[in-house]
Structure 1
Amino acid sequence: MTINIKKNIKVALGTFGIVIFAFFALQFTQSGSTALKIKKGSHIILIGNNLGSRMMNYAYFETELYLRYPDSMLYIRNMCDGGNTPGFRAHSARPTPWAFPGAEKFQTELAKSPDSEGFNEYPDQWITRHKADIIIALFGYNESFEGPKGLENYKAELDAFIKHTLSQKYNGKSAPQLALVSPIA
C-alpha cells in the first residue's frame, strides 16, 4: 500500500514538474514576438505522445492556464496519445495512420495498410472541429529511441509537421500559433 502511495506521489510530482516546465516555456521566450498570444476565448489544443497524454491524469497544466488567464474563457483540449509522432497518429477506426499528407515517408516500417475500418476523423479534422488557435505539440521522446541514426529523419518529420500545421486554418481564419515542447530528460 505504501509503495503505491509513494509511486503516486512520484508520478504527481513528475507531472507537476512537466507542467511547470511547459508553463514557463509558454511564458518565457527569447523574443517577445515569438511568445504565444493567449486571448479571450482562445482554443488551445495539445497534441503529442505519452508525455502529454499522461497530463490528462493530472489537470495541473489546464488549472495553471485558467489561474493565469481567469477571464479569458479558454477552451483547452488534450488530444495526446502514447506512441504518436509528428506524422504517425494511428487509430483503429481510420484506414491510415498518417497525420498529414506525405507523413508515411518518415515511418517506412509502418507504411502499410493497417486493414482498419471505421469512421474516426483524421487529426486535422479533429483539430478543425475544435477550431484551434494555439497548438502545443509534445513530440520527441518516442523518436529518441532511434538514437543518433534517427535524428535526421526526426528533424525532417518535425519540419514537415511544422510546415503542414502552419499552412492550416483550423479556426477558419488564420494559421495557428504553434509551440513545440521537447521531451523531458
Structure 2
Amino acid sequence: MTSLLDQLGAAGPAPDLEPDLYGPLLGVWDVANRYLVEDTGKWVEGTVVWTFGRVLGGRAVQDVMWFVAPGPDGYPVRESGSTMRLFDPATGSWHVVWFSPAGRTAALVGRRGERGDIVQEGVRPDGRAIRWVFTELTGDSFRWLGHVSADGGRSWQLEQEMLARRREPGEVTGR
C-alpha cells in the first residue's frame, strides 16, 4: 500500500507550470518572526521552521510552518500552519490558501511583483484586505511581509515580518 505522503509529493514541476513562481522557495528555512498582537498593539518575537515542497503532480507548492513564540506564562508554545499554492494553467494564476489547525484560514491569489517579489493578495474572513509579500529573495534568504488594510487597500499596516535563511542540506528539521 502506498502512503498518503507518497501520493502527495512530487519530484518536480508539472510540464506546463509557467511561471514556476514558488520554485525558488523549495527547501527548509529557519526564520526570525515578529508579529503584531492587535488587541495589545505589542509585537511578539519568535522563530519558525518553514518547509516548502512540490505536491499534487507538481502543480502545487505546499508549506508547513512550525512557529515557536512565548506563551502566556512565558514558556515557549509551538503552533503549526500550512499553505497550499495551486497553479491554474487556464488562467495562469496561483490560488493560495493558508490554514491552521485552529481553523483560521486565508485565501489569496499569487503573482509576480514588479521587482521580482512574490505578491499574494486576498481578503480575510472579516472583510479586511491582506497582502503577503516574499521580497528580497536570494538563493539563501528572503523577507516576508504581512500587511492588512481596513480601508480596502488605500493604506496598509504591517502586522508580521519574517526573515528567512535557507537551512543547509542535512540539518535536522526541528519538528
More helix, by proportion: 1
| Greater RCO, 1 or 2 (C-alpha within 8 Å, sep 6+) | 1
Query: TM-score, structure 2 length as denominator?
Result: 0.32
Q: Give the structure with the higher percent strand.
A: 2
Q: Given the two structures, how large is their TM-score scaled by the length of structure 1?
A: 0.30
